[in-house]
Amino acid sequence: MDTPSFKEDHISQIPALQLLMKMGYKYLTPDEALAARGGRSSNVLLEGIMKEHLREANKINYKGKEFYFTDTNINTAILALRDLPIQDGYIQANIAFYDLLTLGKSLDQAVLGDKKGFTFQYIDWKHPENNVYHVTEEYSVLRTSRTDTYRPDIVLFINGIPVTIIECKSPTIKEPIHKAIEQHMRNGQEDGIRGLYQYSNLLIALAAEQAKYATTGTPLEFWSVWRESFRSKVQESDFSRELTVLKNKPLPADDRTALFTERFWSVLQYFNQLESRELAVTEQDRLLYSLCRPDRMRDLMLNYIVFDDGEKKIARYQQYAAIKDTLNRIQQTDSTGKRTGGVIWHTQGSGKSLTMVMLAEQISTVVKEPQIVMVTDRIDLDDQISDTFKKCGMRVKQANSGKNLVELLNTEKDIVITTVIHKFESAVNQTDAILTSGDLFILVDEGHRTQYGQFNIK
Protein backbone atom coordinates (compact mmCIF):
# COMPACT_ATOMS: atom_id res chain seq x y z
CA MET A 1 0.00 0.00 0.00
CA ASP A 2 1.15 3.56 -0.63
CA THR A 3 2.34 5.78 2.23
CA PRO A 4 -0.57 6.38 4.64
CA SER A 5 -2.31 9.72 4.29
CA PHE A 6 -2.39 12.01 7.32
CA LYS A 7 -4.87 14.48 5.87
CA GLU A 8 -7.54 15.37 8.41
CA ASP A 9 -10.45 13.93 6.43
CA HIS A 10 -8.50 10.81 5.43
CA ILE A 11 -7.28 9.81 8.88
CA SER A 12 -10.07 11.10 11.13
CA GLN A 13 -13.18 12.53 9.48
CA ILE A 14 -14.01 9.91 6.83
CA PRO A 15 -13.22 6.95 9.16
CA ALA A 16 -15.48 8.54 11.79
CA LEU A 17 -18.29 8.96 9.25
CA GLN A 18 -17.91 5.36 8.07
CA LEU A 19 -18.09 3.96 11.60
CA LEU A 20 -21.09 6.12 12.50
CA MET A 21 -22.90 4.96 9.35
CA LYS A 22 -22.19 1.35 10.29
CA MET A 23 -23.67 2.07 13.75
CA GLY A 24 -26.99 3.06 12.16
CA TYR A 25 -26.71 6.74 11.20
CA LYS A 26 -28.01 7.59 7.73
CA TYR A 27 -25.56 9.81 5.88
CA LEU A 28 -26.73 13.11 4.40
CA THR A 29 -24.47 15.02 2.04
CA PRO A 30 -23.97 18.69 2.96
CA ASP A 31 -26.38 19.64 0.17
CA GLU A 32 -29.02 17.18 1.39
CA ALA A 33 -28.69 18.47 4.94
CA LEU A 34 -29.05 22.06 3.73
CA ALA A 35 -32.18 21.14 1.77
CA ALA A 36 -33.64 19.45 4.89
CA ARG A 37 -33.32 22.77 6.76
CA GLY A 38 -35.07 24.77 4.08
CA GLY A 39 -31.90 25.87 2.30
CA ARG A 40 -31.04 28.29 5.15
CA SER A 41 -27.71 28.11 6.94
CA SER A 42 -29.27 30.14 9.76
CA ASN A 43 -31.59 27.20 10.52
CA VAL A 44 -29.89 24.23 12.22
CA LEU A 45 -32.90 21.93 12.65
CA LEU A 46 -33.64 19.43 9.86
CA GLU A 47 -37.27 20.54 9.87
CA GLY A 48 -38.18 18.54 6.78
CA ILE A 49 -37.16 15.33 8.53
CA MET A 50 -38.63 16.48 11.85
CA LYS A 51 -42.11 17.16 10.49
CA GLU A 52 -42.31 13.92 8.57
CA HIS A 53 -40.98 11.73 11.35
CA LEU A 54 -42.50 13.34 14.45
CA ARG A 55 -45.97 13.23 12.92
CA GLU A 56 -45.70 9.45 12.57
CA ALA A 57 -43.87 8.88 15.85
CA ASN A 58 -46.29 10.85 18.06
CA LYS A 59 -49.71 9.28 18.39
CA ILE A 60 -52.45 10.14 20.87
CA ASN A 61 -53.97 7.07 22.53
CA TYR A 62 -57.36 8.02 23.95
CA LYS A 63 -60.30 5.83 24.92
CA GLY A 64 -58.86 2.87 23.06
CA LYS A 65 -58.30 4.76 19.83
CA GLU A 66 -55.28 6.34 18.15
CA PHE A 67 -55.09 9.85 16.75
CA TYR A 68 -52.48 12.07 15.08
CA PHE A 69 -51.51 15.44 16.43
CA THR A 70 -52.85 18.21 14.22
CA ASP A 71 -50.53 20.00 11.81
CA THR A 72 -50.98 23.12 13.93
CA ASN A 73 -49.77 21.30 17.05
CA ILE A 74 -46.81 19.77 15.21
CA ASN A 75 -45.80 23.24 14.03
CA THR A 76 -46.24 24.55 17.58
CA ALA A 77 -43.94 21.82 18.92
CA ILE A 78 -41.28 22.59 16.33
CA LEU A 79 -41.62 26.32 16.99
CA ALA A 80 -40.97 25.71 20.70
CA LEU A 81 -37.79 23.88 19.77
CA ARG A 82 -36.76 26.58 17.31
CA ASP A 83 -37.39 29.55 19.59
CA LEU A 84 -35.33 28.72 22.66
CA PRO A 85 -34.84 31.59 25.17
CA ILE A 86 -31.31 32.47 24.04
CA GLN A 87 -31.97 36.02 25.26
CA ASP A 88 -31.79 34.60 28.82
CA GLY A 89 -28.34 33.19 28.20
CA TYR A 90 -26.66 30.36 26.34
CA ILE A 91 -26.98 27.77 29.11
CA GLN A 92 -30.55 28.80 29.90
CA ALA A 93 -31.45 28.11 26.28
CA ASN A 94 -29.75 24.74 26.55
CA ILE A 95 -31.67 23.95 29.75
CA ALA A 96 -34.95 24.80 27.99
CA PHE A 97 -33.93 22.54 25.10
CA TYR A 98 -32.98 19.71 27.45
CA ASP A 99 -36.32 19.96 29.24
CA LEU A 100 -38.21 19.78 25.93
CA LEU A 101 -36.13 16.82 24.83
CA THR A 102 -36.46 14.80 28.04
CA LEU A 103 -39.92 15.84 29.25
CA GLY A 104 -41.70 16.62 25.98
CA LYS A 105 -44.22 19.39 25.47
CA SER A 106 -47.89 19.40 26.50
CA LEU A 107 -50.19 20.36 23.64
CA ASP A 108 -53.95 20.90 23.85
CA GLN A 109 -56.03 19.05 21.32
CA ALA A 110 -59.71 18.18 20.94
CA VAL A 111 -60.21 14.42 20.67
CA LEU A 112 -63.63 12.74 20.57
CA GLY A 113 -65.20 15.98 21.76
CA ASP A 114 -62.84 16.35 24.73
CA LYS A 115 -60.11 18.97 24.79
CA LYS A 116 -57.16 17.77 26.81
CA GLY A 117 -53.42 18.21 27.10
CA PHE A 118 -51.33 15.48 25.49
CA THR A 119 -47.55 15.11 25.67
CA PHE A 120 -45.63 15.49 22.43
CA GLN A 121 -42.25 13.73 22.54
CA TYR A 122 -39.32 14.85 20.41
CA ILE A 123 -37.45 11.60 21.16
CA ASP A 124 -39.12 8.30 21.99
CA TRP A 125 -37.07 7.19 24.99
CA LYS A 126 -39.08 4.03 25.63
CA HIS A 127 -39.23 2.70 22.08
CA PRO A 128 -35.88 3.37 20.41
CA GLU A 129 -37.03 1.88 17.11
CA ASN A 130 -39.34 4.89 16.72
CA ASN A 131 -36.41 7.31 16.30
CA VAL A 132 -34.34 8.09 13.20
CA TYR A 133 -30.64 8.92 13.19
CA HIS A 134 -28.70 10.99 10.67
CA VAL A 135 -25.12 12.17 10.26
CA THR A 136 -23.73 14.88 8.03
CA GLU A 137 -20.45 16.72 7.60
CA GLU A 138 -19.17 20.22 6.89
CA TYR A 139 -22.37 21.57 8.44
CA SER A 140 -22.28 25.23 7.44
CA VAL A 141 -24.00 27.46 10.03
CA LEU A 142 -24.40 31.25 9.88
CA ARG A 143 -22.56 33.02 12.67
CA THR A 144 -24.44 35.25 15.10
CA SER A 145 -24.83 38.80 13.71
CA ARG A 146 -22.44 37.94 10.87
CA THR A 147 -22.67 37.07 7.19
CA ASP A 148 -20.02 34.31 7.23
CA THR A 149 -20.30 30.76 8.52
CA TYR A 150 -18.50 28.16 10.62
CA ARG A 151 -18.55 24.51 9.57
CA PRO A 152 -18.32 21.79 12.21
CA ASP A 153 -16.82 18.62 10.75
CA ILE A 154 -19.58 16.20 11.78
CA VAL A 155 -23.05 16.61 13.32
CA LEU A 156 -25.31 13.81 14.58
CA PHE A 157 -29.10 14.14 14.63
CA ILE A 158 -31.92 12.31 16.35
CA ASN A 159 -35.24 12.92 14.58
CA GLY A 160 -33.72 15.91 12.78
CA ILE A 161 -32.46 17.52 16.01
CA PRO A 162 -28.69 18.18 16.27
CA VAL A 163 -27.49 16.61 19.52
CA THR A 164 -23.80 15.79 18.96
CA ILE A 165 -21.06 17.89 17.34
CA ILE A 166 -17.68 16.45 16.38
CA GLU A 167 -14.43 18.15 15.39
CA CYS A 168 -11.69 16.09 13.72
CA LYS A 169 -7.98 16.85 13.48
CA SER A 170 -4.94 15.20 11.95
CA PRO A 171 -2.55 13.74 14.55
CA THR A 172 0.35 15.28 12.66
CA ILE A 173 -0.43 18.79 13.90
CA LYS A 174 0.75 20.00 17.30
CA GLU A 175 -1.72 19.22 20.14
CA PRO A 176 -4.54 18.08 17.82
CA ILE A 177 -7.12 17.37 20.55
CA HIS A 178 -6.39 20.73 22.15
CA LYS A 179 -6.98 22.37 18.75
CA ALA A 180 -10.26 20.49 18.23
CA ILE A 181 -11.52 21.52 21.67
CA GLU A 182 -10.51 25.12 21.02
CA GLN A 183 -12.55 25.00 17.82
CA HIS A 184 -15.60 23.84 19.78
CA MET A 185 -15.05 26.65 22.28
CA ARG A 186 -14.66 29.23 19.48
CA ASN A 187 -17.86 27.98 17.84
CA GLY A 188 -19.71 28.36 21.13
CA GLN A 189 -18.75 32.01 21.59
CA GLU A 190 -21.32 34.80 21.27
CA ASP A 191 -20.14 35.65 17.75
CA GLY A 192 -19.87 31.96 16.85
CA ILE A 193 -22.63 29.48 16.06
CA ARG A 194 -24.49 29.24 19.33
CA GLY A 195 -27.59 28.68 17.24
CA LEU A 196 -26.24 25.13 16.78
CA TYR A 197 -24.48 24.63 20.10
CA GLN A 198 -27.57 25.53 22.13
CA TYR A 199 -28.92 22.15 20.98
CA SER A 200 -25.82 20.13 21.79
CA ASN A 201 -25.60 17.46 24.45
CA LEU A 202 -22.40 15.70 23.47
CA LEU A 203 -19.26 17.37 22.09
CA ILE A 204 -16.40 15.25 20.75
CA ALA A 205 -12.81 15.95 19.68
CA LEU A 206 -11.07 13.33 17.51
CA ALA A 207 -7.54 12.81 16.19
CA ALA A 208 -7.26 9.10 15.30
CA GLU A 209 -5.31 7.78 18.31
CA GLN A 210 -6.61 10.52 20.63
CA ALA A 211 -10.19 11.35 21.55
CA LYS A 212 -12.03 13.33 24.22
CA TYR A 213 -15.63 14.29 24.98
CA ALA A 214 -17.58 16.87 26.97
CA THR A 215 -20.93 18.60 26.96
CA THR A 216 -22.21 22.09 26.26
CA GLY A 217 -20.01 24.83 27.74
CA THR A 218 -17.44 22.48 29.31
CA PRO A 219 -14.11 24.27 29.99
CA LEU A 220 -10.99 22.85 28.34
CA GLU A 221 -9.60 21.31 31.54
CA PHE A 222 -12.70 19.17 32.10
CA TRP A 223 -12.79 17.42 28.73
CA SER A 224 -12.37 13.68 29.38
CA VAL A 225 -11.26 10.43 27.84
CA TRP A 226 -13.62 7.44 27.96
CA ARG A 227 -12.71 3.93 29.04
CA GLU A 228 -15.23 1.11 28.90
CA SER A 229 -15.67 -0.86 32.11
CA PHE A 230 -15.44 -4.65 31.82
CA ARG A 231 -16.20 -7.26 34.46
CA SER A 232 -13.94 -9.81 32.83
CA LYS A 233 -11.32 -10.34 30.15
CA VAL A 234 -14.02 -12.13 28.16
CA GLN A 235 -16.20 -9.01 28.12
CA GLU A 236 -13.24 -6.89 27.08
CA SER A 237 -12.37 -9.34 24.32
CA ASP A 238 -15.99 -9.41 23.10
CA PHE A 239 -16.07 -5.61 22.97
CA SER A 240 -12.84 -5.44 20.94
CA ARG A 241 -14.01 -8.16 18.58
CA GLU A 242 -17.41 -6.50 18.00
CA LEU A 243 -15.76 -3.18 17.24
CA THR A 244 -13.18 -4.74 14.92
CA VAL A 245 -15.88 -6.62 13.01
CA LEU A 246 -18.01 -3.48 12.74
CA LYS A 247 -15.14 -1.32 11.54
CA ASN A 248 -14.23 -3.83 8.84
CA LYS A 249 -17.80 -4.41 7.72
CA PRO A 250 -18.24 -3.02 4.17
CA LEU A 251 -20.63 -0.13 3.75
CA PRO A 252 -23.64 -0.88 1.55
CA ALA A 253 -23.03 0.29 -2.02
CA ASP A 254 -25.56 3.13 -1.82
CA ASP A 255 -24.04 4.47 1.41
CA ARG A 256 -20.55 4.26 0.00
CA THR A 257 -21.61 6.12 -3.13
CA ALA A 258 -23.26 8.84 -1.05
CA LEU A 259 -20.14 9.30 1.10
CA PHE A 260 -17.65 9.50 -1.76
CA THR A 261 -19.70 10.94 -4.63
CA GLU A 262 -18.70 14.56 -3.92
CA ARG A 263 -15.04 13.72 -3.23
CA PHE A 264 -12.14 13.40 -5.65
CA TRP A 265 -11.74 10.00 -7.32
CA SER A 266 -8.32 9.71 -5.71
CA VAL A 267 -9.93 9.73 -2.24
CA LEU A 268 -12.12 6.74 -3.12
CA GLN A 269 -9.12 4.95 -4.58
CA TYR A 270 -7.17 5.59 -1.39
CA PHE A 271 -9.90 4.11 0.82
CA ASN A 272 -10.40 1.15 -1.51
CA GLN A 273 -6.71 0.39 -1.14
CA LEU A 274 -6.78 1.02 2.61
CA GLU A 275 -9.70 -1.34 3.13
CA SER A 276 -8.15 -4.19 1.15
CA ARG A 277 -6.69 -5.44 4.44
CA GLU A 278 -8.05 -5.50 8.02
CA LEU A 279 -8.29 -2.06 9.56
CA ALA A 280 -6.94 -1.59 13.07
CA VAL A 281 -9.20 -0.09 15.73
CA THR A 282 -8.15 3.40 16.86
CA GLU A 283 -8.82 5.38 20.01
CA GLN A 284 -11.36 7.54 18.19
CA ASP A 285 -13.17 4.34 17.10
CA ARG A 286 -13.40 3.23 20.73
CA LEU A 287 -14.79 6.55 21.89
CA LEU A 288 -17.31 6.81 19.04
CA TYR A 289 -18.48 3.24 19.60
CA SER A 290 -18.73 3.78 23.35
CA LEU A 291 -20.59 7.11 23.25
CA CYS A 292 -22.39 7.37 19.91
CA ARG A 293 -24.11 4.03 19.51
CA PRO A 294 -27.75 5.14 19.40
CA ASP A 295 -28.67 3.25 22.58
CA ARG A 296 -25.67 4.55 24.54
CA MET A 297 -26.10 8.13 23.34
CA ARG A 298 -29.77 8.15 24.35
CA ASP A 299 -28.84 6.75 27.77
CA LEU A 300 -26.15 9.40 28.33
CA MET A 301 -28.47 12.20 27.27
CA LEU A 302 -31.41 11.10 29.37
CA ASN A 303 -29.73 9.82 32.53
CA TYR A 304 -26.18 11.13 32.80
CA ILE A 305 -26.43 14.88 32.23
CA VAL A 306 -27.16 17.34 35.03
CA PHE A 307 -27.28 21.11 35.33
CA ASP A 308 -25.42 22.17 38.45
CA ASP A 309 -25.76 25.85 39.38
CA GLY A 310 -25.61 27.10 35.80
CA GLU A 311 -23.07 24.53 34.61
CA LYS A 312 -23.93 21.57 32.43
CA LYS A 313 -22.13 18.35 33.34
CA ILE A 314 -21.96 14.89 31.81
CA ALA A 315 -20.81 11.73 33.57
CA ARG A 316 -17.23 10.55 33.36
CA TYR A 317 -16.75 6.92 32.42
CA GLN A 318 -16.07 5.82 36.01
CA GLN A 319 -19.25 7.53 37.23
CA TYR A 320 -21.25 5.89 34.46
CA ALA A 321 -19.87 2.43 35.31
CA ALA A 322 -20.40 2.87 39.06
CA ILE A 323 -24.00 3.97 38.62
CA LYS A 324 -24.76 1.15 36.19
CA ASP A 325 -23.34 -1.46 38.57
CA THR A 326 -25.25 0.03 41.50
CA LEU A 327 -28.54 0.08 39.60
CA ASN A 328 -28.05 -3.54 38.59
CA ARG A 329 -27.46 -4.46 42.22
CA ILE A 330 -30.45 -2.63 43.71
CA GLN A 331 -32.80 -4.26 41.21
CA GLN A 332 -31.87 -7.65 42.65
CA THR A 333 -33.43 -8.80 45.92
CA ASP A 334 -33.16 -11.93 48.02
CA SER A 335 -36.07 -14.16 49.09
CA THR A 336 -36.98 -11.71 51.87
CA GLY A 337 -37.01 -8.68 49.56
CA LYS A 338 -33.73 -7.27 50.86
CA ARG A 339 -31.13 -5.65 48.66
CA THR A 340 -27.36 -5.94 48.99
CA GLY A 341 -25.29 -2.85 49.72
CA GLY A 342 -21.84 -2.01 48.45
CA VAL A 343 -18.98 0.47 48.22
CA ILE A 344 -18.02 2.81 45.37
CA TRP A 345 -14.39 3.85 45.73
CA HIS A 346 -13.64 7.43 44.65
CA THR A 347 -10.63 9.69 44.88
CA GLN A 348 -10.81 13.30 46.02
CA GLY A 349 -12.20 15.62 43.36
CA SER A 350 -13.56 12.77 41.23
CA GLY A 351 -17.18 13.92 41.38
CA LYS A 352 -18.70 11.97 44.28
CA SER A 353 -21.56 14.42 44.76
CA LEU A 354 -22.58 14.32 41.11
CA THR A 355 -22.34 10.53 41.12
CA MET A 356 -24.82 10.49 43.99
CA VAL A 357 -27.10 13.00 42.26
CA MET A 358 -27.21 10.93 39.06
CA LEU A 359 -27.66 7.71 41.04
CA ALA A 360 -30.47 9.19 43.14
CA GLU A 361 -32.25 10.41 40.01
CA GLN A 362 -32.11 6.95 38.48
CA ILE A 363 -33.14 5.17 41.66
CA SER A 364 -36.32 7.24 41.51
CA THR A 365 -37.01 5.92 38.00
CA VAL A 366 -36.61 2.21 38.86
CA VAL A 367 -38.12 2.26 42.36
CA LYS A 368 -41.56 3.68 43.11
CA GLU A 369 -41.50 6.46 45.74
CA PRO A 370 -38.09 5.72 47.24
CA GLN A 371 -36.62 7.34 50.33
CA ILE A 372 -33.01 8.30 49.64
CA VAL A 373 -30.86 9.40 52.57
CA MET A 374 -27.57 11.14 51.79
CA VAL A 375 -25.14 10.89 54.70
CA THR A 376 -21.93 12.88 55.18
CA ASP A 377 -19.60 13.30 58.13
CA ARG A 378 -19.33 17.11 58.07
CA ILE A 379 -21.91 19.88 58.19
CA ASP A 380 -20.29 21.76 55.33
CA LEU A 381 -20.50 18.65 53.13
CA ASP A 382 -24.14 18.18 54.12
CA ASP A 383 -24.87 21.76 53.03
CA GLN A 384 -22.93 21.33 49.81
CA ILE A 385 -24.66 18.10 48.77
CA SER A 386 -28.07 19.47 49.71
CA ASP A 387 -27.42 22.55 47.56
CA THR A 388 -26.19 20.38 44.68
CA PHE A 389 -29.40 18.33 44.69
CA LYS A 390 -31.56 21.43 44.83
CA LYS A 391 -29.65 23.06 41.99
CA CYS A 392 -30.17 19.91 39.94
CA GLY A 393 -33.93 20.17 40.46
CA MET A 394 -34.50 17.34 42.95
CA ARG A 395 -36.81 17.50 45.98
CA VAL A 396 -34.53 17.68 48.99
CA LYS A 397 -34.94 18.19 52.73
CA GLN A 398 -32.16 18.55 55.28
CA ALA A 399 -32.63 16.73 58.58
CA ASN A 400 -31.71 19.33 61.19
CA SER A 401 -31.74 16.86 64.10
CA GLY A 402 -32.03 13.17 64.84
CA LYS A 403 -35.69 13.68 65.73
CA ASN A 404 -36.31 15.49 62.44
CA LEU A 405 -34.62 12.67 60.54
CA VAL A 406 -37.00 10.14 62.10
CA GLU A 407 -39.99 12.37 61.30
CA LEU A 408 -38.95 12.70 57.67
CA LEU A 409 -38.41 8.95 57.32
CA ASN A 410 -41.86 8.30 58.79
CA THR A 411 -43.75 10.87 56.72
CA GLU A 412 -41.97 11.58 53.42
CA LYS A 413 -41.83 9.47 50.27
CA ASP A 414 -40.11 10.03 46.94
CA ILE A 415 -37.61 12.41 48.48
CA VAL A 416 -33.92 12.93 49.11
CA ILE A 417 -33.05 13.54 52.77
CA THR A 418 -29.59 14.86 53.63
CA THR A 419 -28.00 14.52 57.04
CA VAL A 420 -24.71 14.05 58.89
CA ILE A 421 -23.63 10.72 60.37
CA HIS A 422 -23.74 11.91 63.98
CA LYS A 423 -27.50 12.50 63.79
CA PHE A 424 -28.04 8.78 63.30
CA GLU A 425 -27.19 8.02 66.92
CA SER A 426 -29.75 10.58 68.01
CA ALA A 427 -32.25 9.18 65.48
CA VAL A 428 -31.82 5.66 66.87
CA ASN A 429 -32.39 6.94 70.43
CA GLN A 430 -35.56 8.72 69.28
CA THR A 431 -37.40 5.60 68.17
CA ASP A 432 -37.77 1.92 68.98
CA ALA A 433 -39.23 1.21 65.57
CA ILE A 434 -37.14 -0.66 63.03
CA LEU A 435 -37.16 0.73 59.51
CA THR A 436 -38.06 -2.24 57.33
CA SER A 437 -38.86 -0.56 54.02
CA GLY A 438 -37.15 -2.17 51.04
CA ASP A 439 -37.30 1.18 49.28
CA LEU A 440 -35.05 3.07 51.71
CA PHE A 441 -31.62 3.78 50.25
CA ILE A 442 -28.79 5.20 52.34
CA LEU A 443 -25.90 6.71 50.36
CA VAL A 444 -22.91 7.54 52.55
CA ASP A 445 -20.40 10.07 51.28
CA GLU A 446 -16.79 9.48 52.30
CA GLY A 447 -17.51 6.22 54.10
CA HIS A 448 -14.63 5.36 56.45
CA ARG A 449 -13.98 4.34 60.06
CA THR A 450 -16.61 6.71 61.50
CA GLN A 451 -19.28 4.51 59.92
CA TYR A 452 -18.45 1.50 62.09
CA GLY A 453 -19.48 0.60 65.61
CA GLN A 454 -22.35 2.64 67.01
CA PHE A 455 -22.81 4.53 63.73
CA ASN A 456 -23.30 1.37 61.67
CA ILE A 457 -26.94 0.60 62.57
CA LYS A 458 -28.43 -2.17 60.46
Per-residue pLDDT tens over the stretch 85-137: 988 888 899 999 999 999 899 999 999 888 989 999 999 998 888 999 999 99
Q: What distance in Å separates the CA atoms of residue 286 and residue 289, rounded to the nearest whole number?
A: 5
Q: What distance in Å separates the CA atoms of residue 355 and residue 320, rounded to the nearest whole number?
A: 8
Per-residue pLDDT tens over the stretch 157-175: 999 999 999 999 999 999 9
Q: Is the model's pLDDT at 451 over the cut of 60?
A: no
What is the chain's length?
A: 458
Q: Is the model's pLDDT at 419 over the cut of 70?
A: yes
Per-residue pLDDT tens over the stretch 204-256: 999 999 999 999 999 999 999 999 988 889 898 999 999 999 999 999 999 99
Q: Is the model's pLDDT at 456 over the cut of 60?
A: no
Per-residue pLDDT tens over the stretch 184-204: 999 999 999 999 999 999 999
Cα 25 from chain centroid (whole Å): 17
Per-residue pLDDT tens over the stretch 358-384: 888 888 888 888 888 887 765 655 566
Give me the helix-helix angle, 90-103 and 294-303, nearest 10°.
110
Phi, psi (deg, nearest 5) at residue 240: -65, -40
Decide: pTM greater than 0.85: yes
Q: Classify residue 231 by burial, with Cβ atoms within 10 Å: 0-12, 13-18, 19+.
A: exposed
Residue 415: Cβ within 10 Å count: 18
Report whether 27 contacts 126 (CB < 8 A): no
Select the more confidently predicted residue: 425 or 217. Answer: 217
